[in-house]
Amino acid sequence: MPTISRDEVAHLARLARLAVTDEELDLFAGQLEVILTSVARVGEVAAADIPPTSHAVGLTDVFRADVPRPGLTQQQALLGAYATEGGRFRVPRILDEA
Amino acid sequence: MDYDEVLERFEPVLGLEVHVELSTATKMFCGCANSFGAPPNTHVCPTCLGLPGSLPVLNRAAVESAMRIGLALNCSIAPWCRFSRKNYFYPDMPKNFQISQYDEPIALHGSWAVPLADGSTFTVGIERAHMEEDTGKSLHVGGGTGRIHGANYSLLDYNRAGVPLIEIVTTPIVGAGARAPELARAYVTGLRDLLRALGVSDVRMDQGSLRCDANVSLMPRGSSTFGTRTETKNVNSLRSVERAVRYEMSRQAAVLASGGDVVQETRHFDEATDTTSPGRRKETSEDYRYFPEPDLVPIAPSEEWVARLRATLPELPGQRRARVQAEWGLSDLELRDLVNAGALDLIAATVEVGAPAEQARSWWVSYLSQQANSRDVELAELPITPHQVARVIALVGAGELTNTLARQVVDGILAGEGEPDEIVAARHLAVVSDDAELAAAVEQALAAQPDVAEKIRGGKVAAVGAIVGAVMRATGGQADAHRVRELVLARCTP
Amino acid sequence: MSELTRLSAADLAGRIHAREVTSVQVTQACLDRIAAVDPAVRAFVHLDAQAALAVAAQVDDKLRRGDPPASPLAGVPVALKDVFTTLDMPTTCGSRTLRGWRPPYDATVTRRLRDAGVVIVGKTNMDEFAMGSSTENSAYGPTHNPWDLDRVPGGSGGGSAAAVAAFEVPLAVGTDTGGSIRQPSAMTGTVGVKPTYGGVSRYGLVAFSSSLDQGGPVARTVLDAALLHEVIGGYDALDSTSIDAPVPPVVHAARAGATADLAGLRVGVVREFRGDGYQPGVLRAFDVAVSRLSELGAQVVEVSCPSFDYALPAYYLIAPSECSSNLARFDGMRYGLRLGDDGTRSAEEVMSLTREAGFGPEVKRRIMLGTYALSAGYYDAYYGQAQKVRTLIIRDFAAAFERVDVLVSPTTPTTAFALGERVDDPLAMYLSDLCTIPADLAGNAALSVPAGLSDEDGLPVGLQVMAPAMADDRAYRVAAAYEVARDAADGGPLTHRVPGIEVVGEALC
Ligand SMILES: [Mg+2]
Ligand SMILES: [Zn+2]
C-alpha cells in the first residue's frame, strides 16, 4: 500500500510549482495516502496481455495542410499579460535550468 | 595533458544530438507562419501561446519532412507512433510541457556514412529521428551582460514557439579516436548538406535552425564500459562542434588522470574562450512525467505513403559524390580537394541546372573560392546559388558577357543586387557589338599606338591583340572582343 | 414567473420563428427570472444582458425581414458553462487564477451557438476547472440546488444544471469528464447528455482531462437536448480528436422516440451498479423506470460488466494525471493571476506562489496526485495500469453491446447531498461519479433523464442510458420514449415540480 510522507508531498509540490504551506503538507499527505490506497486497486487487474488505452476513439493520421491561417495580433496576444515590454511578455528573472 | 597523451590512455565516445528547425510554411501544430525575424509575438495564436482551451493539429508537411529525413539516414519508419508530453516548467514554453516524441519516434535504427576530409567515410549509427516543437525565445534584461545569470527580468517572444523541430540522435560513436573532434564536425557538416539537399530546412546554425548538443565521455583504453558523459549545449557553429569535443576530451582526461570523477552534467560552450563550463546543477533529478499526448492521435504511416516519400528523395550528397567522380573522371585526390573546398555539391548542382562541368568547376574553385576566402566564409555560405552561377555561364556562352563582365555580374550577386539578368541591365554590362561605337574606340586605340598600327599594316597579325586589349580596357571590358578584332583587321588591311 | 420561462426550447423556438413572440421577449423573461432567483441559486458567474438582448434583437430583425431562422434554436436563450472561451465575456473556469480573463478567441461550441442565432445569456458556475462533483469547488462560491437550496446541484456543471432546473434558461451547455453533465442533471431533475467522445469539438474548452472531456447539452426535455446537441456537435478541423462524420440523428431519434414504443429494444441493466452505497429510494425509482421500459416493450436483461468496479480508481488516476499537465500553463507568465513578483523573486518562485494562491484545494490535490502517478517510478503501477483498466472497460462495453442495444443504471448512487457534507472527504465526493465514469473512459454516448423522485427525500433521481460510440441517437430514442411514459404516469413533467425558490442572498455576478 502506498504511503506518502510530508517530504514526498513537498517534492511533488515542487515539481508541480505549488508553494504549499506546512498545514497543507500534513493535510495533503493524509489525503493523498487515502486516495492512493484506494486507487491502487487498478493493480489488481494486472495482466501483460492487456494493451493500455490512451485514446478512446481509434483515430489515426489526423493532419492539417501546411497552409498559414491568421493568428492573433501582437496586441491580442499580450492582452491578458501581467506585464509587457517592447511587444514581449515581461516575466521575473529566469534561473538557468537548461 | 596533451592531446596525444589523452588518446594514448582513453578512447572517446561521442553522442550527437542535432535539432533541426523545419522550413515548413506553418508551425508544427497551428497555422501560424514559421518565419524568422518578425516583430515579437506577431506569429502567434491561441495554440502556440498555449492559451486555455487551445488544441494542436499536426502539420502533414512536417511529418513528411521527418519521414524523408529518416529515410535519408537509412532509418526504419515506425508503422505506428505517437507524441508524448514532456512536462517541465520553463517560461519560454507556453504550456509548460513540450509536445515531443518519447518512446515511439517516427524514424529509428538508421546509419549514415559521414564523409571525412580525406575522402573516406565513417559510419555513424542513428538511434532515432523524432518530431517535437520548438520553444519561444527569451531576452534577459539587466545584470550587465544580457546573460541569464544575474538578469533582472526576462522578456518573451513566442514567434518561435511551436516551430517544427526534428531531433536526430546518434547511437554512441566509438572508434573515432584522435579524429573524434573532426568526426563531430564532419557529422554536423554532412548532416547540414544532407538536410539542405532534402530541402527540409534552412540549416542556418547562425540563426539557430540547426543546433547541436555534443555528448562526450572517455573510456580507458582496453575497457568496454562507457565513462560518465557530459552534454555540451550551445554549440552553434561547425568550428565550435570540433572545439567543444576536443576541449571536453582534454578536460575529462585531466580529471580522470588526477583520480577524479567526471560529473554527469550539462555544460555550455563558450565561443570566446573555446572552453566549456558547467550549467546550473539541478537539485532534483529530472522527471519529465512523459505520457501520450491525449490531444493528438497516433500516426500510422502506410507502406504506400513511405514508398511515395522514398521516391521523392533527391540524390543525396554521398550518392552524388560517387556519381560525379565517375562522370567527371576525377581521381580520389581531385575529388577530395573539391569536397574539402566544399565545392563538389555546388558544382554538381550547377551542372544539374545546365552548365558545362568544366566551367562550373572553374567558377567555384577559382573566382568564388577566392571570394569565400577573402570573406572568411564557407563556399556554401556565399550568397550565390548554383542557379545563378549557371545563368552567368550561360550568358558568357551566348556571347552576351565577356569573362570580365561575368565577374562583375557575380560581384553584383554577392553584393545582393539581384539576379544575373537584373544586374546586367542595371550595371549596363551587355557586350558592346555596335560597330559605330566600336569603330570609334578602334580608331582611338590605333591613333594612340601608331607603331603597333604600322606593324599590323605591315602584316604582323599577332600585333592585333595589343589593340584589342586597349579597346577592351577603354570599354571597361564590355566590347565584343571578336568583333573588335575583325574591325582592327578590316581597318589595317588594304 | 413568466409563462415563457416554463416553455421548452422547442416550443419557444417554434413561437419565435412563427413570430408569436420575440426573441427579445423570451430573453428578457429569462433575464428577469435570473434576476429574481439567481441570488438564491447562484448559477451564473457572468451575465451580459445587453449583449444577449442585442443578439435576440438581431434574430427578431432577420425573422421580421422574412429570413429563415439560422437554426431550429435561433432566438432561444442558452447558458454556457464557464469553461468555454468567449470573446465577449470572461472565462474563469471557477478559478481564482483566471478571474477576469478575457480570451482572445471563441471556442468552437461558442462560435456554433452564435452562428445558430442562439442567445448566450451568460456563463455558469462550476467546480474549479471542472474538478468536483458538487460545484462547491468554485472560487466564486457554491451553486445551490433549486430543489432544495441547502443541497448541492451536483458538479462540476452544477451551474448549468441549476440554471435549467430553476427555469432561468431553457438550455445550457455543460462538459462531462467523469459525469459532470449527467450527475448534476440527475441531481437537478434535468436531461443531460454526454455525446460520444469526439462528437462535440473541444477547441476552446479549457481542458481538465483531455482524453475524457466532452461538451454536451443540458435541458428540461429530451428533444430540447437533441436540438442543442445538433447545434454544437459535428466535425471540427481544429480538434484532432473530432470525429469526421455527420452528427448522429439525435433530433429525429428524440421526435420518433416520443411517438413510439420500445418494442424489440434490448435493454441491459448493469449488475454492478447497485448494492452497498446506493440510496434505497434511488434504487426504487430506478426499478420503476426500468419497469416502464419493459412496459414500453423493451426486453430487459441483467448484464455484468465486471471491470466497471475498477472504473472509479482508473478515472482518479487518468484524470488527475492529465490535469497535472493541462494545468501547468497557469503559471502567471502570460495571462491570469500573478503573485509575488516583487522584482527580486525568480520566475520559478513567482510561478509557485501564483499557483499556490490561484488554485483551490481540490485542484492542488489532483495536480499532486497526477504528478505522483506520472512519476518515473510509479507510472506503470498507476497511470499505465489505469490505462489497462480503460481497455477492459471498453471490452466490457463491447461485449455488452453484443447482447443489448443500450445499458441502463441509476445516474448517481444518491440524490443531491447537503452543501458542505462531503467537501472534506474526497473519497466520499468521488463516489458520486461511480456510475457515470465508465462511459467517459470508453468514450461512448450516455445521458441522464429524470426518473422521478426518491421517495425518502423527494429529490430527483436520474436514469442513465448508455449507448455505443456514435449511437447517441439510440440513447435519445430510449430516453424520449421513456420521458413520455414517465410524464403520462406522473401527470406532468418532473421539472415542473421544482418547489418555489425562496430568495435570500446575493447572486455571484
Ligand atoms: Mg528534444
Ligand atoms: Zn500558432
DSSP A37-72: HHHGGGGGG--TTSPP-S-SS-----EE-S-----B
Instruction: State residue B338 phi and psi, 5-degree precision.
Output: -65, -40
Dist. CA C459 → ligand 1 center (Å): 55
Does C388 participate in catalysis according to the annotation? Answer: no
Name the strand (E) or helix (H) holding C92.
none
Q: Decide if pLDDT at C289 tops 60.
A: yes
Handedness of CA C481, C486, C491, C492 (dihedral sign): negative
DSSP C177-222: SSSTTHHHHHHHT-EEEEPPTTSB--TTB--SSTTT-EEEEEESSH
Indicate the fold that domain B435-492 takes in CATH.
Arc Repressor Mutant, subunit A (1.10.10)
pLDDT of amino acid B425:
87
Intra-chain end-to-end CA distance of chain B, in Å: 83
| Dist. CA C381–CA B350, nearest whole Å | 60
Nearest to B295 among C210, C331, C379 (CB): C210
Higher pLDDT, residue C479 or B380? C479
Separation of alpha carbons C240 and C250, rounded Å: 23
**Which domains can be identified in chain A, with CATH numbers?**
1-46 (1.10.20.60)
Residue contact B51–C104, C-beta within 8 A: yes
B33 touching A (Cβ < 8 Å): yes
Give the whole-angstrom CA distance, residue C283 versus residue C261: 24
Instruction: Give the residue from A5, A35, A89 with the most C CB atoms within 10 Å of its CB, the best one to mutate.
Output: A35
Chain B residues touching residue C372 (CB < 8 angstroms): none
pTM (predicted TM-score): 0.88
Residue A98: what pLDDT?
Answer: 39
Longest dimension (CA), chain C: 73
C219 within some domain: yes
Q: Is C156 a catalytic residue?
A: yes
- Pairwise CB contact (< 8 Å): A42 & C382: yes
Given an 8 Å threshold on Cβ–Cβ distance, is C211 in contact with A45?
A: no
Which of these, B55, B56, B38, lies nearest to B157 by C-alpha position? B38
Q: Distance of alpha carbon C246 from its chain centroid, rounded?
A: 22
Q: Is residue C361 situated within a structural domain?
A: no
Is residue C249 a contact partner of residue C226, using CB atoms and an 8 Å limit?
no
Report yes or no: C426 and A38 within 8 Å, Cβ to Cβ: no
User: Which residue ranges in chain B fall short of pLDDT 70?
Assistant: 144-149, 280-285, 433, 494
Contacts A14 to B, Cβ<8 Å:
284
What is the ipTM metric for this complex? 0.97
Return the SS3 of A2.
Answer: coil
Report how far apart, in Å, the C-alpha atoms of A91 and of each of A75, B152, C344 are.
17, 10, 12
Would you say residue C422 lies in a domain? yes
Task: Identify the pLDDT of residue B463.
Answer: 83
Which region among B309-313, C145-149, C423-427 has the lowest average model confidence (pLDDT)? Answer: C423-427
pLDDT of residue B283: 47
Note whether B280 contacts A93, CB cutoff 8 Å.
no
User: Which range has the worst mean pLDDT, B473-482, C94-103, C299-308, C476-485?
Assistant: B473-482
Contact B134, B161 (CB under 8 A): yes
pLDDT for the residue B271: 87
Number of domains in chain C: 1
- Residues in A closer than 8 angstroms to B282, CB to CB, are 97
Say what the pLDDT of residue B285 is. Answer: 57
Peptide bond preceding C156 in cis form (omega within 30 of 0): yes
Residue A10: list chain B partners with CB under 8 A: none
Residue C247: per-residue pLDDT:
98
Confidence of residue A97 (pLDDT cuts 50, 70, 90): very low
DSSP bridge partners of B137: B157
Selected for mutation to probe chain A from C344, C355, C368 (highest A CB count within 10 Å) is C368
Residue C401 covered by a domain: yes
Residue A33 has pLDDT above 80, yes or no: yes
Query: Per the domain annotation, does C348 fall within a domain?
Result: no
B52 touches chain C (CB under 8 A): yes
C-alpha cell at C365: 490535490
CB contact under 8 A, B89 and C329: no
The verdict on residue C180 lying in a domain is yes
The region of weakest confidence among B217-226, B475-484, C304-313, C351-360 is: B475-484
Alpha helices in C5-69 (DSSP H): 9-17, 23-41, 49-64
**B31: nearest CA partner in chain C:** C238
**Domain span including residue C132:** 3-308+390-504
Contact A36, C385 (CB under 8 A): no
For residue C131, count other CB atoms closer than 10 A to its CB: 30
Q: What is the mean pLDDT of residues C107-122?
A: 98
**Three cell numbers, residue C363:** 485542484
User: What per-residue string of b and e applies to C347-386 under the rule 16 or more CB within 10 Å gives b?
Assistant: bbbbbbbbbbbbbbbbbbbbbbbbbbbbbeebbebbbbbb
User: Is B50 in Cβ contact with C348 (below 8 Å)?
Assistant: no
Chain C residues closer than 8 Å to A46 by CB:
385, 388
For position B358, what pLDDT does the model report? 87
Q: Is the pLDDT of residue C332 over 90?
A: yes
Predicted local distance difference test score (pLDDT) of residue B494 = 63
The predicted structure's pLDDT at residue B485: 84
Mean pLDDT of chain C: 97
Q: Domain spans of chain B?
A: 3-308, 315-427, 435-492
Site from B22, B23, B41 to mutate, A interface, most A CB atoms within 10 angstroms? B41
What SS3 state is found at A98?
A: coil
User: What CA–CA distance (Å, rounded) separates C373 from C380?
Assistant: 9
